[in-house]
Chains A and B, each alone.
Chain A
């Protein structure tokens, strides 16, 4: 399960001025797994601090809130999971020893030249198509120039004026807990670029070389340098922290469905920078926008945005709107607030120009069509299909969140299993088991075929629902087949009335005292007899049949 939204019960509050507390709705908790490949869920600690704010202050702030509208846009960097880097043949493994995956090209050594990995184009086209963009059949790479120690060439190979994909949108279904609803968020552009290296700081402000301690630079790790990224820029279409977090979560689902990235936020495979401004409702011009960085989870995204909106609203309402300046702010998870990272001194001039070391990127119609035809069913299509099967939106969102869960569900119903029953099993016992054992759906031993078989066996009456549950856990933990387990454990339900009659008679004969009491009016003892029969049959007697026969026998004057 990649992502589950649980209802956020908490509000979080913070103080800007001693005299005024205010709160935002929609505190959210996100649980996120490390990757689609089924690593265990790393649960995120919820840092929500509860502060009871005085009612009057809350009301006051709600009044303020009503007058403003937030405008939110998101820049997302998606690290592509190609086998090798964008412009050289180095592999990339997250967490490898520093500088063990670097070559003259990604180290930017004199004389080394980039050569494009064609998978990058393929993945970019996939994402472009999945985001309903129009593709630039003829695009190019450009150099974006700036100095930083993690940028070995002094420029980043990126795309400037002709991105590979333009003008699309992303469909999002908001969780039912947050009022639900469908949204279409615009996507401005998608472009390809290379990642930079990483600066490794040694702890406690002690930098590895004494000469460096006059400024905060430690070691440069170039393992990540040259890893392909897609930058996806949204239109400023989001209005709340939830909408923004859901946009990002949907992007994560999309890239995982497409298999182009593991979408893992903790490892930095999916990075979101958020731009926020607010404006009085009714005003057309945008306000001054603030960029927020360091958002390591959807939950921090949502909370950071809500904090920032409140901060700006408050400044507006106090007549201090001029204190909202164009700047980059950092989300501090510990303090649950945003703080100034750097104020922008005008627009940076990156001196973009076409990358002369790489030929232009030309896509043929055939190539694009081939990729379009090979696209898997995407989250939005799946949601609509499941909805049409009659599933509730809550069920739909649960099943489609993780591509592997959806695939499991699809494979289960392909065996002919009842849609609702399959959903209930997956969302109920299977999900609970996965959560307890910290397993993904691909880790459990149960196959969709066997789940289908299990559902069928219960439906046909071969086994009871109760036994079905027992088998399920066995199947999840150890594997095997439903048929095999039924045989092995002799679990076939007894549906032959004469056989049940025999056992009932035996039980009645063995308990004359209780029978007498029953016939003396203590009818509650029916349960006792049923239990005895079940004990005799090891739970295999068909309960309906058993009760019918038992009542017949108990009430018959023999």
Chain B
């Protein structure tokens, strides 16, 4: 028996009403928090307590977090903030916002294990740039979220510590690798969270958990302090329960960083402003925007229910005034093999530093090579080992041209075909994943099937483009249905447009509440 949540989303008929405008602002937890703190409707301490309470209650079932500091540490920061409010001091844009941080992003005051035994108890001496910026904006870090070891996986099953459950159905995976960050936002254990996206690790779990996931353009956010998986593909991304939250979060972490040579020095637009300013919606608020639906993403291999959800969402966009056409990216299917070669190659190199000399359990050997070999054999999980082996093979003399070089050529083709398609369209549309969340263990012994699930997202990393995933509907499953995510892909550094379209789409999508059953009875948006 399906609840009302599974009904086809409907377009809000008259989006110009003031009621709708009020709803717009309330959808953002960050904006609501700020308002209620400044107006003294609530205190930062009370807010933090309510989140910590929910976190403690749900965590035994979810396992989203690898580390949560003692409550006092979080409440102390909230108290300090309340003092500031009392003294009418200036508040940062994220004042009182409770953030979860994926555990492959360095925090100086908490362990940062990247989900690996090799970094068990490792405490970095510094904050990642993104974390430093968040804290400078007044955010409070509530803990470090679970992930597949070093970001390698699509389920969190490859975490060396625990498997995170999907808040919509505890027997299902939350997606990965940023599964902990997605589940935590979905279950309102924190307001927003940071993840990382190398081949879809923000977008696929966002889709599986029914939250908004934003993968910025490569170089938009500094990677300094993000434990490298595949340097040319890695980006730090944002999770929120609304497009506005993801956008405001992005705003605070973007920009050039002198510590990351691949970070862009392009100016950061004020992504936040548009969420505040939309008071009136015209009847066709997205009039004239050209939307290209990628044909290859709605073909064989994609669940029919997912296809139908996405098609409904596309109709919704049309009703909002978009001009929808179908576009073909013939190189789309090449992305998966190219991605797995490049990502594995880079990771085989990036993970060389975990050699047992400085981190993890050192296995003493008769000679140096056995120290390396045994320390790494014991420290890495099987998924990581598999990728290191693949990458080492692909980079070996005699194979380099056939694999790595070839994959780079494919990457160029993919980048060009996206460029071409985005010259003709404002955004491109695809599902975020070919299926909704599947059962824990279902694909554990079938890595190829799991890899195939990345088909929708890897191309975007290869092209370095920004993409926004937001929930657009449900399919049957669990007790209240399972969320489906739609992916909107934009031109490089055009996050603004994605956020604008996503925001309006979200605000006009009626009849969908993306609060999972585990917290539905206590959460009133």
**How many residues belonging to B are interface residues under a CB distance threshold of 8 Å?**
50
The CA of A214 and the CA of B105, in the complex, are separated in Å by: 36
Is B227 engaged at the interface, CB distance under 8 Å to the other chain? yes
CB pair B368–A353 under 8 Å, yes or no, is no
Out of A109, A215, A349, A353, name the residue touching B125 (CB < 8 Å).
A109
**B138-160 with Cβ < 8 A to chain A:** none
CB pair B368–A110 under 8 Å, yes or no, is no
The CA of A115 and the CA of B263, in the complex, are separated in Å by: 11
Residues in A whose Cβ lies below 8 Å from that of B346: 353, 356
Is A344 engaged at the interface, CB distance under 8 Å to the other chain? no
Is A73 engaged at the interface, CB distance under 8 Å to the other chain? no
A109-B124, A215-B368, A353-B400 known; A115 and B232 CB under 8 Å? Answer: no
Q: Mark A176-217, 1 if CB is under 8 A from B, else 0.
A: 000000000000000000000000000000000001001101
Q: How many A-B contacts if CB must be within 8 Å?
A: 111
CB pair A153–B400 under 8 Å, yes or no, is no
B71 to nearest A CB, angstroms? 27
Is B64 engaged at the interface, CB distance under 8 Å to the other chain? no
Q: Chain A interface: which of B2-10, B389-397, B427-435?
A: B389-397
Residues in B whose Cβ lies below 8 Å from that of A121: none
The CA of A349 and the CA of B357, in the complex, are separated in Å by: 22
CB pair B372–A147 under 8 Å, yes or no, is yes
**A331-369 with Cβ < 8 A to chain B:** 347, 349, 351-353, 356-359
CB pair A104–B261 under 8 Å, yes or no, is no
Q: Mark A86-115, 1 if CB is under 8 A from B, else 0.
A: 000000000000000000110011111111
Residues in B whose Cβ lies below 8 Å from that of A347: 397
CB pair A111–B397 under 8 Å, yes or no, is no
CB pair A358–B261 under 8 Å, yes or no, is yes
**A354-410 with Cβ < 8 A to chain B:** 356-359
CB pair A152–B353 under 8 Å, yes or no, is yes
The CA of A351 and the CA of B232, in the complex, are separated in Å by: 17
Q: Mark A464-504, 1 if CB is under 8 A from B, else 0.
A: 00000000000000000000000000000000000000000
The CA of A155 and the CA of B352, in the complex, are separated in Å by: 7
Out of B261, B353, B371, name the residue touching A153 (CB < 8 Å).
B353
Residues in B whose Cβ lies below 8 Å from that of A220: 357
Residues in A whose Cβ lies below 8 Å from that of B223: 111, 113
Q: Mark B340-377, 1 if CB is under 8 A from A, else 0.
A: 00000110110111010111000011111101100000
A210 to nearest B CB, angstroms? 10
B160 to nearest A CB, angstroms? 15
The CA of A214 and the CA of B339, in the complex, are separated in Å by: 42
CB pair B128–A111 under 8 Å, yes or no, is yes
Out of A214, A353, A357, name the residue touching B395 (CB < 8 Å).
A353
CB pair A110–B125 under 8 Å, yes or no, is no
CB pair B365–A351 under 8 Å, yes or no, is no
Q: Mark A35-46, 1 if CB is under 8 A from B, else 0.
A: 000000000000
A548 to nearest B CB, angstroms? 79
Residues in A whose Cβ lies below 8 Å from that of B364: 211, 214
Is B513 engaged at the interface, CB distance under 8 Å to the other chain? no
The CA of A110 and the CA of B353, in the complex, are separated in Å by: 8
Specify the chain A residue showing the minimal Cβ separation from B359: A110
CB pair A104–B124 under 8 Å, yes or no, is yes
Is B259 engaged at the interface, CB distance under 8 Å to the other chain? yes
Is B176 engaged at the interface, CB distance under 8 Å to the other chain? no
Residues in A whose Cβ lies below 8 Å from that of B114: 110
A152-B358, A217-B368, A356-B231 known; A113 and B352 CB under 8 Å? Answer: no
Specify the chain A residue showing the minimal Cβ separation from B225: A111
Q: Mark A288-329, 1 if CB is under 8 A from B, else 0.
A: 000000000000000000000000000000000000000000
**B85-108 with Cβ < 8 A to chain A:** 104-106
CB pair B352–A149 under 8 Å, yes or no, is no
Is A154 engaged at the interface, CB distance under 8 Å to the other chain? yes
CB pair A110–B112 under 8 Å, yes or no, is yes
The CA of A217 and the CA of B371, in the complex, are separated in Å by: 12
A106 to nearest B CB, angstroms? 12
B365 to nearest A CB, angstroms? 7
B145 to nearest A CB, angstroms? 16
Specify the chain A residue showing the minimal Cβ separation from B346: A356
Residues in B whose Cβ lies below 8 Å from that of A114: 261
A215-B368, A351-B392 known; A113 and B261 CB under 8 Å? Answer: yes
**B107-130 with Cβ < 8 A to chain A:** 112, 114, 119, 122, 124-126, 128
CB pair A357–B262 under 8 Å, yes or no, is yes
Specify the chain A residue showing the minimal Cβ separation from B234: A356
CB pair B366–A214 under 8 Å, yes or no, is yes
Is B469 engaged at the interface, CB distance under 8 Å to the other chain? no
CB pair B124–A215 under 8 Å, yes or no, is no
**Which among A152, A153, A154 has the greatest number of chain B C-beta atoms within 10 A?**
A154
B358 to nearest A CB, angstroms? 7
CB pair B260–A113 under 8 Å, yes or no, is yes
B219 to nearest A CB, angstroms? 10
B220 to nearest A CB, angstroms? 15
CB pair A155–B349 under 8 Å, yes or no, is yes
Residues in B whose Cβ lies below 8 Å from that of A153: 352-353
CB pair B227–A110 under 8 Å, yes or no, is yes
The CA of A359 and the CA of B464, in the complex, are separated in Å by: 14
The CA of A214 and the CA of B366, in the complex, are separated in Å by: 6
Specify the chain A residue showing the minimal Cβ separation from B397: A349
Specify the chain A residue showing the minimal Cβ separation from B352: A154
**A28-55 with Cβ < 8 A to chain B:** none
CB pair B352–A359 under 8 Å, yes or no, is no
Is B228 engaged at the interface, CB distance under 8 Å to the other chain? yes
CB pair A353–B345 under 8 Å, yes or no, is yes
**Could you show 30 A-B contacts with beta carbons less than 8 Å apart?**
A104-B124, A109-B126, A110-B106, A110-B114, A110-B228, A111-B105, A111-B128, A111-B223, A111-B224, A111-B225, A111-B226, A113-B223, A113-B261, A115-B258, A116-B261, A143-B349, A147-B352, A153-B353, A154-B351, A154-B352, A214-B365, A215-B366, A347-B397, A351-B392, A351-B400, A353-B400, A353-B404, A356-B231, A356-B262, A358-B262
Give me the 5 closest cross-chain CB pairs, A-B, nearest first. Answer: A154-B352, A356-B231, A356-B232, A351-B395, A111-B225
Residues of B within 8 A of A (CB): 104-106, 112, 114, 119, 122, 124-126, 128, 223-228, 230-232, 258-262, 345-346, 348-349, 351-353, 355, 357-359, 364-369, 371-372, 392, 395-397, 400, 404
Residues of A within 8 A of B (CB): 104-105, 108-116, 143, 145, 147-149, 152-155, 211, 214-215, 217, 220, 347, 349, 351-353, 356-359
Given A110-B122, A214-B364, A356-B346; 4 other pairs, CB 8 A cutoff = A149-B355, A155-B352, A351-B395, A353-B345
